[in-house]
Amino acid sequence: MNRAAQIARSYEISIDEAVSYIRGRTELEPLIALVLGSGLGEYAAELTVEEEIPYTDIPDFPTSTAPGHDGRFILGYLDDVPVICMKGRVHLYEGYEPWDVVMPLRVMRELGAQVLFVTNASGGINYNFSAGDLMLITDHISSFAPNPLIGPNFDRFGTRFPDMTHVYDEELSDLIREAAVEEKVPLKEGVYVQLTGPSFESPAEIRMLRTLGADAVGMSTVIESIAAHHAGMRVVGVSCIANAAAGMTKELLSGDDVNLTANETAPLFTRLVNASIIRIGKAVS
Ligand code: HPA
């Protein structure tokens, strides 16, 4: 076996071990995998919890070190929809390799999740956005982050050269739009671009990203969406615009302010996500 194949083999073993470990702690089979972004972790309290598993309990599993990211799986039900929730994700800027960042969602896929619902806090690039807005992610720009599928292809998950024309599922995104109308939650839409962080962008970079067609910028999500789409999951995403991006106002950016604003949107975010999950649960079960 060559070196790349050896690394891939040990990676697959880690995935299998994580799946067995989680199955050993709960029989819940999730339908929806929900990733809670910076400052949005409190949403997990909405679930009727069956089991909580800190990432540090799971053998060989990446752990969250970012502020505002608790670092645990929460398995439970929203009404009768079985959900596995990541309260806190792992990021490239913590020093993880791209394939490690996407390991948790591959594990959630193996546990049975058919849908990946990604959320995050982001900087608004679009002039029509304000801090506190929620944005449905309709497409992404991945070109500034390493591709998580680099390396040997895991045929058990998906094909070597996956198409990325429809990463964000149109039918399920329509259900989020419907949920927003019903809950009277204003919902923007746009293209999310992932940079690696951890430094925020410069004003010149924000102008560049706007020219390229991005509406919001953050340090996560896109590589997870790519790996989930590769693995055949139906992906949807909502971003909380936590601030106007660098240079758009006189304010300087800070991680604490991002978490604070994301926390403040919690009531709207919770209503939107609850109503969306109920609809998506019905549509896919
Ligand atoms: N840039 C990058 N990531 C972010 C931002 C931002 O302005 N706000 C929240 N996450």
CATH number of the domain enclosing 108: 3.40.50.1580
**Tens-place pLDDT, residues 71-94:** 999 999 999 999 999 999 999 999
Q: What is the average pLDDT score of the chain?
A: 94
Cα angle value 75/76/77 (rounded, 5°): 150
Strands 234-244 and 115-124, bridge-based pairing: parallel
Q: List ligand 1's pocket residues with C-beta within 6 A.
A: 121-123, 200-201, 217-219, 242-243, 245, 253, 258
Tell me the average pLDDT across 242-259.
Answer: 90
The model's pTM is 0.96
Q: Report residue 91 CA to chain centroid gap.
A: 10
Look up the domain containing 269 and give its range.
3-284
Give the residue, out of 258, 260, 263, with the most ligand 1 atoms within 8 A of its beta carbon, to mutate for a pocket test: 258
pLDDT value, residue 257: 83
Distance set, CA 105 to CA 68, 90, 201 (Å): 19, 11, 27
What local confidence, expressed as pLDDT, does residue 278 receive?
A: 97
Instruction: Please choose from 201, 222, 241 the residue to mutate so as to test ligand 1's pocket, defined by most ligand atoms within 8 A of CB.
Output: 201
Confidence of residue 232 (pLDDT cuts 50, 70, 90): very high
How far, in Å, from the CA of 45 to the mean position of ligand 1?
25
Taking phi first (over 0 means left), then psi (-120 to 50 degrees means alpha), and beta for anything else, what does residue 189 get? Answer: beta
Q: How far apart are the first and last CA of the chain?
A: 41
Q: What residue type is assigned to position 121 of the chain?
A: A
The C-alpha atoms of residue 265 and residue 280 are separated, in whole angstroms, by 22
Nearest to 280 by CA among 34, 27, 38: 34
214 has a pLDDT exceeding 90? yes
Q: Whose CA is nearest to atom 2 of ligand 1?
A: 218
Provide the number of structural domains found in the chain: 1
The arithmetic mean of pLDDT across residues 36-44, rounded, is 86
Whose C-alpha lies nearest to ligand 1, atom 10? 122
| Residue 35 binned pLDDT confidence (cut-offs 50, 70, 90) | very high
Q: Which of 119, 195, 207, 219 to mutate to test the pocket of ligand 1 (most atoms within 8 A of CB)?
A: 219
The confidence score (pLDDT) of residue 248 equals 95
Indicate the DSSP class of residue 252: P
* pLDDT the model gives residue 178: 98
Which value, in Å, is the radius of gyration of the alpha carbons in the chain?
18
Confidence of residue 143 (pLDDT cuts 50, 70, 90): very high
> DSSP characters for 184-245?
T--EEEEEEEE---SSPPPHHHHHHHHHTT-SEEESSSHHHHHHHHHTT-EEEEEEEEEEEP
Q: Using CA atoms, how far apart are residues 53 and 58, in angstroms rounded to an integer? A: 8
Q: Closest Cα to residue 40, out of 279, 281, 264?
A: 264
| Residue 23 pLDDT | 97
Give the whole-angstrom CA distance, residue 281 versus residue 213.
Answer: 32
Q: 110 CA to middle of ligand 1, Å?
A: 31
Using the predicted structure, report yes or no on whether residue 69 has a pLDDT greater than 70.
no
- 5: Cβ contacts below 8 Å, ≥ 6 apart: 152
